[in-house]
Chains A and B, each alone.
Chain A
């Protein structure tokens, strides 16, 4: 199977989204730096966005198939915007945390431990 000669389908996008998503998750799971975790989140969101776009795209679906259409893109837009907002607030939190703890190691932030 030659990827180059085949039309790209939704699944391909989904695979890429999955990879991104998993990378994001792994990133979140392994990074002790709060900013690293944030980046993982960004990756996860991007993976998700990719899926939305793929499901909404008329390019990737066969004609006549039901797609999300423009909704996918709109949702992706919202996700982007909210991600930005989230990043802002997360950074603020991180800064605050840093101000208090003089570190950004999330493993130190375990005061809510049970």
Chain B
């Protein structure tokens, strides 16, 4: 846990609740399982003591603003604040109904990468210590172990290439602003399949999404997915079959990603939520790159910005057109 941040978030939350500035504070709490810190909504000062800030805050809290009545405070690092900007621009959330507690993200840890590292052991506890994680547990013979690993080794992919670690809008910022970028170059990794041959790309796509069990955690965790009826749930007409057939699964993923084009802020919540560990961002980050390169647009940075698919310029690239 990033202790000082945690303390300050609690302090701010208590003040806001006490002064009745907001009805609730949407933040994170400690998980009941190592590395599974989870969304939490505090309504009272006592409950505010459950709020934390850690390297395992991977869910997108902006989701919980959709449809919420009254005024809420929300803990927001860069990507969450950008999601809020999106929701404001898409008329899902009113700016005056949100009190944004801005915070800096250290870059979140990919729990699966840690589990992978200790694949033959049972992890019982994970502590944070600066740039390191202290992983404790036991092996199958019951022998205990304790090991330090660098957080950098197990950071989520999207946090490596993040360009906005500090909240982009906020009513109050907690702690010092930190390093703005994750250090990685998004263009090197955004669309890894571009390097592959045509057939290899299809194989990579199949390999990546083939294990989907259609639980829709990726969709349901995503603050962009607020349609009252998702296309995949429509029955008149039914756009997409309900089976485990590859074509049904892939249609869902291609279309869902496409619906996020020009809107996705690459928060990585979809990947973190996927119980099967599917690299869901393979599609969204490609679209994000295209939107950036073709139309010079980066979503979630400016309230009032016109969404890139709702406008055009006469000089837009036209090579997709059959002449």
Q: Do A and B associate with each other? A: no
Residues of A within 8 A of B (CB): none
